[in-house]
Structure 1
Amino acid sequence: MTKKILNKENVYKDLKQHAKDVGSSEVQIAILTERIRYLTEHFTKNKKDKHSYTGLTTLVNRRKKLLDYLSKTNSTNYKKILEKLNIRK
């Protein structure tokens, strides 16, 4: 069994605020979204993988908290990131 390595640079290259940005809310949301999409694809093949399902729930909750924070602090970036990552809220 191989583990997929996410190419994080391609995921957040348009969202980062400076050259070494990996900690801003926008970048964290983008990385979490990529991991969530990978796990949902994983579950189409592995329906009985319950342990990874709890990890998926954790990722979704963390992304939801970051999105709530971003909507309160910077609503323009919030709308931009929802549109860019194709997330419905």
Structure 2
Amino acid sequence: MLTPEDKAAIVAEYATSEGDTGSPEVQVALLTHRITYLTEHFKSHIHDNHSRTGLLRLVSRRRKLLDYLHKKNAQRYFDLIKKLGLRK
């Protein structure tokens, strides 16, 4: 689960400026952390279909944010996916 300390660390690492919590980089990083957590959760809770629906929503939201970032600033997009270790 995402603790406040973990969230603060992620925000500090991916923020584009001080106090930045809403940039696409920060949002994608937080979503990636939650997606990773849920993926591990499903390894032991195979039949948790309700949470699986939530996972699909998170993945979709992350994809939309990444598409937006790619459209607005391709270099920031490529830097982010490399830093997060995402495909593409």
Is the TM-score greater than 0.5? Answer: yes
Partner Cα separation in structure 2 for residue 5 and residue 32 of structure 1: 10
Higher helix share: 2
Partner of 2:59: 60
Where in structure 2 are there 5+ consecutive unaligned residues?
Answer: none
Match of 1:67, SS state, is helix
Deviation track 1:38-78 (CA, whole Å, cap 9, x = no partner) reads 00000001001000000000000000000000001011110
Percent of counterpart pairs with the same letter? 48
Deviation at 1:13, TM superposition (A): 2.1
| 1:67-78 correspondence to structure 2 within 5 Å | 67-78=66-77
TM-score between both structures, scaled by the size of structure 2: 0.91
Aligned amino acid, residue 5 of structure 1 = L
Whether 2:79 is the aligned partner of 1:80: answer yes
CA RMSD of aligned residues (A): 1.0
Contact kept, 8 Å, 2:2 with 2:34, in 1: the verdict is: no
User: Unpaired runs of 5+ in structure 1?
Assistant: none
Relative to the length of structure 1, the TM-score reads: 0.90
